[in-house]
Structure 1
Amino acid sequence: MMRFDPFREIEELTQRLDRTFGQASAAPTRFAPPVDVHEDEQGLELTLDLPGVTPEALQIEAENQTLTVQATRAYERKEGRTAHRVERAHGTLARTFSVPPKYDLTKVEAELNHGTLTLRVPRSEAAQKRTVTVRTGKVLEQDTGASA
């Protein structure tokens, strides 16, 4: 026995209308991929899910304390096939992050591995933790070797 789901029928109707009026092949939509943001002593690490995106389709820009990730994933529509369900996101994927000045956007590192993009943003030199040596104001007398 199947549970009644009133939204399932609405979803199926919406998909049928999209297929009928060609929305699956219309202009690409824009969506934000999910992201995890972590911070440690070295800096920030941002991890985005970008399945099916190639490095060539990826654009990463860093400017004015803003980090932008943009990619395009095309919808592959083949002739002679009918799409019954199109749920995977396609079109333009974009996320923009405001990065505090304590991070150095000139040294961002990016790695794409199995559909996961990892961005590492190090702390700026000025924001690095430093140990400060304490000096005393006392001047040490030198021993001249002469006795009085």
Structure 2
Amino acid sequence: MIMGFADPFDTLLNLQRSLDATLANDWLQDLTASRGPFPPINIFQQGDDILAIVELAGIKKDDLQIQAKENSIRIFGRKTVEYPGEVSLHRQERVSGEFDRTMSFPVQIEPDGIKAEYRDGILALFLPRAESDKPRTIKIA
């Protein structure tokens, strides 16, 4: 007796549904809900200047470095997660390790005028636009 499938596309569709259901179940995964770049950053313009708000929860100020060059900012450092004494880890969603993130801007930044404030795991970077990059008003004679 020869057995065949009524419709091979139905078989493939059922297989795809089974795979999707398996991947949708997070019981065996050790991923966090956020899968984007780390650290998360919001950047917006305030007048001529740029303001960047960076979430760095659990990172010590001494483990954080910021560099500025022309039209970019680099934020890098290390996040450590420590556990007291002998523990048995059942689920790990708090990530640790080194991170390195660079953002480029459409304007030149004045590196000497940058101000950084770090409080409660939030870094605020005030990035002034370089005077040489600001538009000039030309008087017509």
Residue in 2 that maps onto 1:47? 53
1:78 aligns to 2:70 (yes or no): no
Q: C-alpha distance in 1, partners of 2:28/2:86?
A: 27
Q: CA RMSD in A?
A: 2.4
Work out which of the residue numbers 63, 66, 77 in structure 1 matches 2:72.
Answer: 66
Work out which of the residue numbers 91, 97, 111 in structure 1 matches 2:97.
Answer: 91
**1:71 shift after superposition:** 1.9
Whether the aligned pair in 2 keeps the contact of 1:36 and 1:46 (CA below 8 Å) is yes
Work out which of the residue numbers 75, 94, 109 in structure 2 matches 1:103.
Answer: 109
Residue in 1 that maps onto 2:131? 125
Runs of 4+ in 1 over 4 A off after TM superposition: 129-135
Whether the aligned pair in 1 keeps the contact of 2:59 and 2:80 (CA below 8 Å) is no
Residue in 2 that maps onto 1:24? none
Residue in 2 that maps onto 1:114? 120
Counterpart secondary structure, 1:9: coil
Whether the aligned pair in 1 keeps the contact of 2:65 and 2:77 (CA below 8 Å) is yes
**1:132 shift after superposition:** 5.0
Counterpart amino acid of 1:122?
P
Q: Deviations over 1:16-35 (max 9, x none)?
A: xxxxxxxxxxxxxxx62110
Normalized against structure 2, the TM-score is what? 0.68
**Unaligned residue ranges in structure 2 (runs of 5+):** 1-20, 32-36
Q: C-alpha distance in 1, partners of 2:116/2:107?
A: 19
**Unaligned residue ranges in structure 1 (runs of 5+):** 16-30, 136-148
Whether the aligned pair in 2 keeps the contact of 1:65 and 1:105 (CA below 8 Å) is no
Q: Percent of aligned pairs with the same residue?
A: 25
